Chains A and B, each alone.
Chain A
């Protein structure tokens, strides 16, 4: 869900027209251009932001600006703003990083890598200012920024303005000469600057001694000097003011603010105090806040700006302003005091007015924040829902979390939706513990409320959240049960919950092998998602459809689907969708025996997979890579890789990958002649295909066919076309081994039709020489001869592999003559007839019979024929 971005946070502040120029500091900032980090670290009121705005207006460098606030402790919001700030200079970069962080809020480092790579490839040089960095308390963000500084691309440098030294590796950067600092000692006004400020900028015309006294009293603290200047503008007797101020021990700001306020008309005083509750303000908002003001909000703001009253313009249009943070802080303290002395207005009432204005102007997050500050629970609860999307998905995660944390349980019980919001917020931060308890509390609370459409929707949301919890466990039954319950209760217009719920349903059906139902759900998710603009879900559902096409042996359709997803992702960079599509294409190109292409897509899929923590994607990639290695004859490497994959799958409970890993391990064992090990694996995983392969290798084709039969019936009944294809192909091998050549070729011919139209190659090659032999015996005149030849050519061009030893030892045991005799026995020839056929004496034939029976360890002619079939001797 995209984070709402306020342009005022990215606005480049303009220097004050009559401010004091500080060329020596600007020169220092310019001279330190080579430093990756410039730190401007000093207490409030030392002119940090003013200096940077003066610098940005004069420098040749391209400057991006981000004014931070408490809400930016949410990593995804911080990062979204960071990218948008950079985009003010290079609009085309950061799209991939942005969608990555939206899909995976915890993956900030990966998103940074993407951003760093993009900036490295550009010629622009960007200076990014992070103002008010002291509000950042989230250590994850300090770490992310340290990472950025460690890998800083040549085209980017950071300027951080802060009231306290940030938790970054400053000592290391200092030692490497990569850090330039301006601190309070550098920023204080010198006597000359104080003089210039008071006499030129403030036009006070003070004597040198007076300036010196003020400079000493304020210790060059700029905010103090500015407030002193303001106070004196209205003082008839400056001398006595200076005397009493410099003689007082009072905290400078406290003393001076009183002076300044007292010299303002009551309406302005009230304006200053009341508007101090706003983090940003415009004329119309101030009018709403101060109804007695008679629509003078805009002109008052302009007056304050002109009067140098610690007010900062946040855009070029003189629309939005804010107070200097220090001044605002002092005003709020005064406001609290003044409200305590009267009963006409309360702080809560002011916040409600602000909240109402923001709501009418569709600034939902700020509307909520003021409702929360007013502790207007009903209002806040309603606003969290958002007009289209709940606010926690728009970047208000932290304010909502903080508000909820402060609420007593009784309020949650009174407003059960708050329990559900809490569960959803905590789920969004990846904290799975405690979510179920909150959902149960919500249900408990709902029992005490009467039925209404809203409560129905809440029941739906509770189920949807439980569905998401079940998703992380791959618990298909639970996902389906919860998602169906959710869909039955969710409001029809709650599209954001509905889309993701329908997608979850598709995923669960796919896990269960209910492919028809899965396909239906995915198609529905795509249709709702397209209507509601939920592109992420549309892409994930498309990947699901691609998987289903693969399962239906429709490789061409699957290829098209995956390619469409990749096209749609190209400027989105959604790793889950990228990985799904790339992995699918790797599998399909593998199947087409285009191993180079398969390898390329595998590499790309692996990169995407590594961005996705807590999923089985990396393991799924390893399985594909193992297939590639096996095809290249690198069994040892494939085996090692599968072992790693298996350990990872066990550790992270990626249960759906176990069977896929085992299937490849069985193939390796068979290729290495380790039949016993293959057998153990096939049995412990209950793999029909694996067991049939093992039985073929043990030269027990009848047993193999017996295993295949029910599996084939099951696959047929469920419409599992891919399983059917695999099973029938092994069936062919079994039949051929039994000497049922005709039946084997009949099935093989049918398989070839599908294989040719969809481009299956490796499914044949992977069965090794047994399949080669069988294909070779297809009639060269048949309709499938061309594809047969193509496949045989592919066999010829790769290293021969043997999964199922064709009893070579026994074959060698029987002499040419004995084999001839055996064939005739099998055709029902009597001993006499054999004599005639082979022109041999009867005793000689009987001697051959005896030796054949001995070697095959049988007593009778019929047994000999059965055993010979079993061993594949008659098909040779």
Chain B
């Protein structure tokens, strides 16, 4: 068993951009996602999100804070060609 296989098959890294800055104290509220302050005053939330349900749950949390959502993007990392286990 390798590490990547232990992840849920649907798990994906997402990058979510919000209008306004949040400090690190919000990391726990957002299920451990990394919080990155951008120089233009926006915030990036980055991290592994287990599945679509978790993604929607997160969007709902953002909605309930009234924070404007600017973008949401999946990042291809689990299929990186540098990972020897991924060779088919």
- Give chain B residues whose Cβ lies under 8 Å from the Cβ of A326: 64-66
Contact among B22, B40, B65 for A44, CB-based, below 8 A: B65
The interface residues of chain B lying within 8 Å CB-to-CB of A333 are: 25-26, 29
Q: Quick one: which of B5-61 are within 8 Å of A by CB?
A: 18, 20-23, 25-26, 28-29, 37, 40-43
Query: Considering the chains assembled together, what is the distance between the CA atoms of A318 and B13 in angstroms?
Result: 48
B63 touches A43 (CB 8 A): yes
How large, as a class, is the contact surface on chain A? 20 to 34
Query: Counting CB contacts under 8 A, is A45 at the interface?
Result: yes
Q: Find chain B residues with CB under 8 A from A252 CB.
A: 20
Residues of chain A contacted by B25 (CB below 8 angstroms): 333, 337
Whether A44 and B63, one on each chain, are in contact in the complex, defined by CB atoms closer than 8 angstroms, is yes
Is B70 an interface residue when CB atoms closer than 8 A count as contact? no
Chain B residues in 8 Å Cβ range of A839: none
A164 touches B63 (CB 8 A): yes
B64-81 contact mask (Cβ, 8 Å, vs A): 1 or 0: 111110000000000000
With a cutoff of 8 Å between Cβ atoms, the chain B residues found around residue A164 in the complex are 63
A325 — which chain B residues lie within 8 A by C-beta?
64
- A254 at the B interface (CB under 8 A): yes
Main SS at interface, chain B: loop
A326 and B61 alpha carbons, distance in the complex (Å): 11
Tell whether A250 pairs with B20 under 8 Å between CB atoms, given A333-B26, A336-B28: yes
CA distance A221 to B65 in the complex (A): 13
Is A249's CB within 8 Å of the partner chain B? Answer: yes
In the assembled complex, the Cα of A43 lies from the Cα of B63 at a distance in Å of 7
A221 to chain B, nearest CB (A): 7
Nearest Cβ in chain B — how far from A219, in angstroms? 9
B51 CB → nearest A CB, Å? 15
Closest to B18 in A: A251
Alpha-carbon separation in the docked complex, A626 to B68 (Å): 64
Task: State whether B21 touches A249 (Cβ < 8 A).
Answer: yes
Partner of A134, one of B37, B43, B63: B63
Q: Contacts A333-B26, A336-B28 given: A251-B43 contact, CB under 8 Å?
A: yes
Which residues of the partner chain B approach A249 to less than 8 Å between Cβ atoms? 20-21, 37, 40-42
Contacts of B66 in A (CB 8 A): 43-45, 221, 223, 253, 326
Say yes or no: A163-B20 contact (C-beta < 8 A), given A336-B28, A336-B29, A337-B25.
no
Q: Is the CB of B64 within 8 A of A44?
A: yes
Name A43's closest neighbour in chain B (CB-CB). B66
- Which B residues are in CB contact (< 8 Å) with A43? 63, 66, 68
**A279 to chain B: closest CB distance in Å?**
14
Question: Which A residue sits closest to B20, measured CB to CB?
Answer: A251
Tell me which residues across on chain A come within 8 A of B43, comparing CB atoms. Answer: 251
B39: nearest chain-A partner, CB-CB: A249
The complex places the Cα of A163 from the Cα of B60 at a distance, in Å, of 10
Main secondary structure of the interface of A (DSSP, over half): helix
Q: How near does chain B come to A508, taking the closest CB pair, in angstroms?
A: 42
A250: B residues at CB distance < 8 A: 20-23
Does A854 interact with chain B (Cβ within 8 Å)? no
Interface centre among B43, B66, B67 (most CB of A within 10 A): B66
B22 and A251 form a contact (CB under 8 A)? yes
The answer to whether B20 and A329 touch across the interface, beta carbons within 8 angstroms, is no
A69 to B69, CA, bound (A): 24
Q: Which of A237-252 contact B (CB under 8 A)?
A: 248-252
- A-B interface contact total, Cβ < 8 Å: 55
Judge whether A216 is part of the interface by a CB distance below 8 angstroms: no
Contact of B64 with A163 in the complex, beta carbons under 8 Å: yes
A265 to B7, CA, bound (A): 47
Q: Provide the residues of chain A in CB contact with B37, threshold 8 Å.
A: 249
CA distance A119 to B25 in the complex (A): 52
The answer to whether A251 and B63 have CB atoms under 8 Å apart is: no
Complex CA–CA separation, A325 to B60 (angstroms): 13
The interface residues of chain A lying within 8 Å CB-to-CB of B21 are 248-251, 254
Q: B22 near A329 (CB under 8 angstroms)?
A: no
- Bound together, the chains give a CA A3 to CA B24 distance in angstroms of 43
In whole Å, how far is B16's beta carbon from the nearest beta carbon of chain A?
A: 14
Cβ–Cβ < 8 Å partners of A253 in chain B:
65-66
Q: How far is the CA of A249 from the CA of B63 in the complex (A)?
A: 19
A330 CB within 8 Å of chain B: yes
Bound-state Cα–Cα, A440 to B70, Å: 50
* CA gap between A164 and B28 in the complex, in Å: 25
User: Counting chain A CB atoms within 10 Å of each CB, which of B26, B64, B67, B68 scores highest?
Assistant: B64
B8 CB to nearest A CB, Å: 17
Closest Cβ of chain A to B31, distance in Å, is: 12
For the complex, give the distance between the alpha carbons of A110 and B47 in Å. 46
Chain A proximity of B10: nearest CB distance (Å): 19
Q: Which of B28, B41, B64, B68 contacts A329 (CB 8 A)?
A: B64
Q: Write out the residue numbers on chain B whose beta carbons fall within 8 Å of the beta carbon of A163.
A: 63-64
Q: Name the residue of chain B whose CB is nearest to the CB of A134.
A: B63
Q: How far is the CB of A218 from chain B (nearest CB, A)?
A: 11
State the Cβ distance, B40 to closest chain A Cβ, in Å: 8
List chain A residues, Cβ under 8 A from B42.
249
Q: In the complex, what residues of B have CB within 8 A of residue A44's CB?
A: 63-66
Q: Which residues of A contact B28 (CB under 8 A)?
A: 336-337, 340
Q: How far is the CB of A187 from chain B (nearest CB, A)?
A: 12
Residue-wise interface mask of A (29-58) relative to B, using a CB-CB cutoff of 8 A (1 in contact, 0 not): 000000000000001110000000000000
Nearest CB on A from B27, distance (A): 10
Report B-chain residues with C-beta under 8 Å of the C-beta of A134: 63
Closest A residue, CB atoms, query B26: A333
Q: Could you tell me the distance in whole angstroms from the C-beta of A214 to the nearest C-beta in chain B?
A: 15
User: For residue B23, which residues in chain A have a CB less than 8 angstroms away from its CB?
Assistant: 250, 254
- Report A223-244 CB contacts with B as 1/0, cut-off 8 Å: 1000000000000000000000
Q: How far is the CB of A225 from chain B (nearest CB, A)?
A: 13
Question: B65 touching A330 by the CB < 8 A rule?
Answer: yes
Nearest CB of chain A from residue B30's CB, rounded to whole Å: 10
Residue in chain A with minimal CB distance to B69: A43
What residue of chain B has the Cβ atom nearest to residue A340's Cβ? Answer: B28
- In the assembled complex, the Cα of A221 lies from the Cα of B66 at a distance in Å of 10
- A254 and B42 CA atoms in complex are apart in Å by 14
C-alpha gap A251/B21 in the complex (Å): 5
- Cα A44 to Cα B21 with chains together (Å): 18
Report A-chain residues with C-beta under 8 Å of the C-beta of B41: 249
Q: How far is the CA of A250 from the CA of B40 in the complex (A)?
A: 11
Residue of chain A at shortest CB distance from B66 = A44
Q: Is the CB of A251 within 8 A of B64?
A: no
Interface pair B65/A329, CB less than 8 Å apart? yes
**Please, how many angstroms separate the alpha-carbon atoms of A336 and B29 in the complex?**
8
Rounded to whole angstroms, the CA-CA distance of A502 and B65 in the bound complex is 52
State A266–B56 Cα separation when bound (angstroms).
37
Q: Which residue from chain B places its CB closest to the CB of A46 in the assembled complex?
A: B66
The residue in chain A whose Cβ has the minimal distance to the Cβ of B68 is A43
| Alpha-carbon separation in the docked complex, A250 to B37 (Å) | 10
CB distance from A340 to the nearest CB of B (A): 8
Chain A residue, CB-CB nearest to B37: A249
Residues from 158 to 178 in A contacting B, C-beta threshold 8 Å: 163-164
B68 partner residues in chain A, CB cutoff 8 A? 43
Instruction: State A326–B65 Cα separation when bound (angstroms).
Output: 6
Contacts of A336 in B (CB 8 A): 28-29
Minimum CB–CB distance from B21 to chain A (whole Å) comes to 5
Whole-angstrom distance between the alpha carbons of A340 and B18 in the complex?
26
Residues A292-334 near B (CB distance < 8 A): 325-326, 329-330, 333
In whole angstroms, what is the CA distance A780 to B4 when docked?
Answer: 98
Instruction: Write out the residue numbers on chain A whose beta carbons fall within 8 Å of the beta carbon of B63.
Output: 43-44, 134, 163-164
Add 18 more A-B contacts to A43-B63, A44-B64 (CB < 8 A).
A43-B68, A44-B63, A45-B66, A134-B63, A164-B63, A249-B41, A250-B20, A251-B20, A251-B43, A251-B65, A252-B20, A253-B66, A254-B21, A326-B64, A329-B65, A336-B28, A337-B28, A340-B28
Nearest 4 A/B pairs, CB to CB: A249-B41, A251-B20, A44-B66, A45-B66
A residues adjacent to B (C-beta < 8 A): 43-45, 134, 163-164, 221, 223, 248-254, 325-326, 329-330, 333, 336-337, 340
16 A-B residue pairs with Cβ-Cβ distance under 8 Å, sorted by A, are A43-B66, A43-B68, A44-B65, A44-B66, A45-B66, A223-B66, A248-B21, A249-B20, A249-B37, A249-B41, A251-B21, A251-B67, A253-B65, A326-B65, A333-B29, A337-B28
